Amino acid sequence: MTYLFLAIAIIAEVTATSALKASDEFTEIIPTMIVIVGYGAAFYFMTLVLRVLPIGITYAIWSGLGIVLVTVVGFLFYKQALNIPTIIGIGLIISGVVVINIFSTAINH
């Protein structure tokens, strides 16, 4: 269940972060509500994850995958360009998350 909760936290955070742009500085009610509910859900599910995983590992996975997914959302929905350095950086972030999950002895699989 820990990784399911982490996935929910990541999806909620990515949804909230992506809605920030659409909220138009919190002047649009629906996107603003998505931001509030999304961040609330993200932090709630993070607290559940922290019952099992160390905070550093949890945050590394959460933020790393969040960065990657928000970049993909920006590309697909907001037509934000990706250049070679961005793609290489995202690849390194993904590599870091994989290394943490495969090789870290701090995670109790």
Per-position pLDDT tens, the chain of length 109:
999 999 999 999 999 999 999 999 999 999 999 999 999 999 999 999 999 998 888 988 999 999 999 999 999 999 999 999 999 999 998 898 888 878 877 665 5
| pLDDT confidence of residue 49 | 97
Rounded CA-CA distance 81/62 in Å is: 23
Q: Where are the domains of the chain?
A: 2-103
| pLDDT confidence of residue 100 | 83
Rounded CA-CA distance 71/87 in Å is: 10
Rounded CA-CA distance 108/85 in Å is: 34
pTM of the model: 0.85
| pLDDT confidence of residue 96 | 87
